[in-house]
Structures are given as structure tokens and as C-alpha cells.
A and B are shown apart, each in its own frame.
Chain A
């Protein structure tokens, strides 16, 4: 709890600290000083599609026990006009930990295995500008300086209406005035409890990336569920989740992940309201994790559920497929989503 409070304090300080002592950088464009414009959801989406940059930043994780770990990383992004830019994320160290410590080595390994997840699912992105504009409002809180850059502090506030007024995130971001790349990201819930924080310490609007970070397994983007089903050989038990009842969220990405270590294959479908995400993962040819439970012997249908303020995760198994549905902790409607998907799997 104390760690959580300290994390909140860090965020509050970073939001309020003046940056007059920093050296401001104004990009030059054909000899003329570019004038920073007010960022918008559209400009942030465009930056994600087309802006190259290199940033060194501090990413703060909070584990299930509430402990906070600050990891320094370097992120290089080589935009390619798509929502899947080439990028390299490099682990630089754990703040306050000597190089070579066990904690440092653990985090280095975590970055090697899950670095792509940190960039793609652990950061602020405008994934769908139209949906983002319909589900969030953008509020300007003035000019700040972050990582030596002139930036605008913005609050992305949900438009959610009852009964979903409390299950949407609130974002405080500081957006580079010239490139619209976020230099500071803090994610809060409706109780203003912070769950994610990324703070840039240096920024360059260019990239010299030698080798993009690749996921440890093969990741194959798919156009839709049907393409993924065919790609996987139409295994039994795989379903196309009916998410028409999930208000505000639509299908965003479909990917097939192949783990080279155990040969497992998973279909990962991400749904977004424009900014926030939740995922439906189907691991084919998997064993029933509840097979040994007494309830399994009487034919009961059980969904395993984990929920804390940061994560909601629901797990069940049917017909050789292990289903994982996960999203933000406050998103309690994922319970009904999981129940609906389970019923769909049972009737498949």
C-alpha cells in the first residue's frame, strides 16, 4: 500500500513539477522554427503511424503485491504507416539495482521474452481514432517540459455512461508538441489509483535501429478470425467470440502466436474502445486445467477468475481449447463476457 502511495506521489510530483531549468529543444524545419500545435487524438494516431523516434524512458511496474519496480529502457520506433511499426525495446537496468543482481537479471529476461508486449499493450496508443473520439474526451492542461521537449499536458477522460462509468481508464499524458509522441503516460482508474506510468528522460525524433525486437515466438497477424482459423488448420473447439454485446469495444487485432519451446499455438484477439484494450486468447490442443477438481467430475462448468485493481483475468477450458479473457481490473463486465464466450463454446 505504501508503495502504491509512493507511486501516486511520484506521479503527482511529475505532474506538478516545473521544468524551467531544463534546456528546451525546438526542432528546426528548413531553417524555420516549427510551432508546437495542440495535440489531438488524430495527431497522436498519426504519430503512431508515421513518426520515427528514439526515447529513453523509465517504465514503472507494480506487481500483484503492490510493489513498484522502475525499469530503464530504450525504445526505438521505426514507423511504417501501419499500426504495427517496427521497434526495438532494450532493457537498460533496474533503477536502484546494481548490474548483475538477481533482480536485474530477472527483468532482463522479462524484457527478452515480453518486450513486445510492453510496447504494444503496455503503453498509450490511439488504436482507433474514431472510436477513441466517441469514447473519450481530450482536455488540455497547459504547456510543460518533458525530456527537454515542449509538451502539452493532456487528460484523456472517458465518456462512459452508466453502468460503465467506473470501468474505464483515465489517462494523464504529456504529448510532445512537435511530434505528438507521448513523453509521459500515467493510467488511473476512477478512484485515481495509478496502475501504469512511463516517463521519458530523453527523446529524439529520429531512429537508427539496427535490429527490431522480435517476440520470442512467431507472431502472425491475421486479417480476421476466419483467416486465423484456416491458418491453424480449423481445429475443433476454436470459436469466433460474439462480442456484439460488449458496449464500446470492437475487434482490433487478430494474431496467431506460436511458442517454439512447447509448440503451442494461441489465437489472440484484441478488442478496443479506441484506447483501452481487452483480450480473448484461445490456446488450442491444451489440457483442461480444472480436470482434477471435484466439480469437473460432476460436469460443472467453472470459470477461474483473478481480479485486482489492475487486472481482470478469466480462464476456462472447453473441447481442447483453453480460453483466457483479460482486461483492466475495473472492467467487471468481463465476467459476463467470459460467461457468454463459455456458452458459445459449449454450443459450438
Chain B
């Protein structure tokens, strides 16, 4: 198998952009990634595009990749859309990794685009594919993760304050990320006093609606040498699993444990080796649950990690340094690639005020979708600084 390197990344600002289109968001991210790589569009041999709601919201169920790349002047090459719930962007990245790994291609591009602010039911909880019957009975994703939070509080002694501290931390990080949607500081009191969504999750405990796009250019080892590319980051592991539907305790996600184990095994890296992580903090409580499921701490230690500041900048393993989904929103197709953008930026030492000193190995994680009461898809990637 060929080694895979990330040679360039690009992102748009994240926010609510009523005047922007899928085409121009996608174009901006693709051109930014190419510019970062210092390669012309003609160098790209294959591309994958993550998007999940463009059919329902923009009458474009297919072809967002073709659209974004054509806008960026790229045509003729194979382009495939990748829809995989909240992990659509991560899955597009994985496909690009695999395309290089097989040896079939030397330069691959992954882009994720989503514009959720067009939802007619803006402000209401996002619905989910795979829970249509339950949706008729009052199920919403925030309610599901609120139940997970309830179980987690019962198991570990976490409190609403514990969860609120995650929102405060991620917003603090976002203040140092010029691309983030929300950058003004908030307090634990602000989070607890914001309108209740589903107990114990308040509005500031849930990620906001957001639009955005992000992209990455991946190359093979031999192409990196031939094209004289620098500022490279190595892909050490790609892991994608689907749900086990085993009806476990909602206070942990077995699907994430399997995805994480697969990644650590592929890379031969222990969880203790992770220096910086981007996890799927769609809700404050789930970020804490993810610490455990990704083995960043032993079971039950999530609340201690939060209270000790171990996952804040300056802590043992800073998490969500770009501000997370909580500060950026969660444009489904774009999030996984925005996470890659952040980890690559950190591993290159280019994160400015939010730089994690000496970061060598980073992790990205997205989990989403529902089937039979369980999450349907989880993706974990491990990246390592070169040199």
C-alpha cells in the first residue's frame, strides 16, 4: 500500500450565508486547498464530495462535487458524491485516502459542502434519515442525545455545569479561529440560562445551524517527491464503521469505540499518543462521552477531564480547537473536512493563537445518522506531522 499525505487544505468561513450557493462555497474551498498545495486544478486525478442535505434543500441530490469542481475549473476526472449522515465529509476524505492507497491515483481531492440555513424549519431541531417512524412520535436528534446525557450523568456524576463548561471551552477556542461562526465568549451561566431544548441540553449546548465548505488535497508518497510538495501531513489511519444496533446503555456509543479501535490498530498508535483532537461535539454532553469512547480517558473520567481543563488549549489533549461544531455549526458534508483542515493546520504548526505546542499526532471523529435506535456511521482518522 502506498503512503498517503495531505498536501493542502482549504475552508470557507462557517456561518449562515443566505446569499451564497453550494457552487460558490464549494469553489472557494477547492481553490483554497489547491492554492495551499500550490498545485493547479489539472493535477487532480479523482475527487469525492461529501454532502447530505443538498437533495432535500437544494434539489441537488447528486452532482455537488461536479458542480464545485467545475466552478473551480476541474472537469473530465472521476467525481463521486458521498452521503453518510454527519460523517459525509469524513467519508469523502476516507474515499480520497483509499483512492491513493490503492495506487490507482497520485492526487485526490475531497471536498464537503452544505448549506443548512435554507431550511424552512430553521430554529427547529434537525430531523434525521433513518428515524422516520420515531420522528412521527416526537423523536428528535437533540432529544436522543439529551437522553444520552441523562444516562451519562447517572453513570459518572457529570452535571449540567460539566457539559456547559464544554461550550465555554469551545467558544474560547473559536475566538482564535477567524473562520468560526460564533466567536464571542460565553459563560457557564449563559449556557445554563439559554432556552431549554431537551433536558439537560439548552440552546447553547447544541450546535447551531451553519453553512460552509472545506477541502483537502491528498497525494501519494511518490507524487509528493515528484511534485516537490512541502508542509505535508501523513494519514496514519482511516476507520469507518456502521452501527451494531446492540441496544447498549445510551451513556456510551459502542460504534465510536469500534471506529476508534480500528484507527489505533491501523496506525499502531496508543490513545495516549494523541496530541490534539477534533470530535463530533454536536452537543456538549456528547463531546464528553466521546472522550471516553475514543479512549482519550478511562471510562467515567470524562467529567474530571473537563473540570481539570485537560481538553482545553494548554491541557493534556486539547479538543475542538477550531471551536467545534458548537461554535461553527454543523454543515454535514463540510464538518469532517473542516476537522481535517484544523488538524492539518495544528500539525503544521500554523494555528496561530490556538496552536497546540508540539502537536505531532491528531485525531478527527464524526458520528451520525440513526438506525434501529443506534448511530449509523462513525469515522475516525489519525494524522501525523511529517518531519
Instruction: Say whether A associates with B.
Output: no
Q: Which residues of A contact B (CB under 8 A)?
A: none
